Amino acid sequence: MVIFGASGDLNKRKLLPALYRLAYERRLPSTFSVIGTSRSQFSDDAFRGAMRQAVKQFLEDSPFDEDLWNSFAQNLHFVAGDLGDSGLYTALQNKLAELGHANVLFYLSIQPSFYGAVVDAIGAAGLGRGGDGRWRRIVIEKPFGHDLDSARALNDRIHRVFPENEVYRIDHYLGKETVQNVLAFRFGNGIFEPVWNRRYVNHVQITAAESIGVEGRGGYYQEAGALRDMIQNHLLQVTATIAMEPSAVYEPDAVRDERAKLLRSIRILTPEEVPLYAVAGQYKGFRQEPGVDPGSMTDTFAAVTFFIENWRWAGVPFYVRTGKKLPKRATEIAIQYNTAPHALFTPDGTTMRPNLLILRIQPEEGISLRFLSKLPGSGMRLRPVSMDFNYGSSFGERSPSAYETLLVDAMTGDATLYTRQDMVEASWRAVQPILDDWSARKFDFPNYEPGTWGPAAADEMLARQGHVWRNT
């Protein structure tokens, strides 16, 4: 595995800890090697020392075994160089030849603006060709492009070196256990799929809330914003997983075909509809963050109403929101069902609370079903109760991190949880009218206080359709 940007945060916090954990569980061959590269002038030993410190610091739910680390670290190597220097790729080629590995996984843990140039250089050096049953694959972090046109251009550039079946666009949300469990929940049980449609579902809310701000990433975040950073990739992929049709078989292409079809079914908003169905927000204090323009129009909150135009979901709104400096850190999917057609037990006109199915993605993975039950005592008084499933307590074992799951899948050639070219372009197509509208408009920012659930306009967007956000 060749990691470009090996001295960066992603490698230290996620990739190396995930690889170490895979070695701990004996899921990597003893000959598995990592070649890190960046402009830092590390020797192999210095790189191993820095990675040892990072793994000890960021390893979660796992012991640090010194003997295992010493064995694992012998296969960590470092090649220093600048991404734009052809000499770096010659040095990588020599190191790969020295190690003698047949199969190579390239991982671009670098600034997105360098993706195209690095792929070009890999191709020019002949590093992208495996041959004779060997494979060369590339893993690319999000964001994949910054709009529809740039995503298409980047796809064309990558395909000159790597065919689509060797390109792995990583979205760590799809590696989370609860997101994967959506497919098992829907298609492995007989009682949920029949009521998973417009006849029974009133609306769907998908929330990815963060309690922190940009945490020193103001320069990057100013160029991205919440809509690009979260909704275009993570949350639209979650939406596709929730709403897709069942595939005929559980195979990578079959599953991704259905996710792609769903994304293509999202109604594209007209310029007149964007102000009604998309809300931008910015928290008070963002413009004072390091690296942020004092007059920045970047969205740190985004809420969008999506409509899926197919027979299963026609007319059902999917409310998707994300934001920073919200009251708590939580990512969940809430599926609200229609109320009972006749209020048999509320002759006084009391509103019946609808059934609610909640899939919690983080911080505590699980599923909860809310329904009404009779209170003890005389009379027919009802109260909402919940049935809860929690991953940790139910299985009593550690869940692998998203990166552990996704790295193994890339090594074994299982692309089920990775994003295909047509899916990337379909998700950009869904948000492009919003990006165009927001880039041409001057907002009265900031428009929400830290610790609140975003701007009032987000509540008004739902109120126009008779709905309210689930903020508990």
Letter for the amino acid at 145?
A: G
What whole-number distance in Å separates Cα of residue 76 and Cα of residue 105?
14
Catalytic residue among 101, 234, 342, 467: 234
Q: Which among 182, 340, 172, 356 is positioned nearest to 259, based on CA atoms?
A: 182
Q: How far apart are CA 279 and CA 462, in angstroms?
A: 11
Give, as one character, the DSSP assignment of residue 376: S
- The answer for residues whose C-beta is within 8 angstroms of residue 158's C-beta and 6 or more apart is 115, 116, 119, 138, 140, 167
| Both structure tokens of 204 | 């769907």
Helix spans in 212-307 (H): 218-224, 226, 236-243, 252-264, 274-277
Q: How far apart are CA 428 and CA 125, in angstroms?
A: 32
- 262 Cβ neighbours under 8 A, 6+ residues apart: 239, 240, 243, 244, 245, 308, 310
Q: What is the CA radius of gyration of the chain?
A: 24
**467 an active-site residue?**
no
Give the catalytic positions in this structure: 234
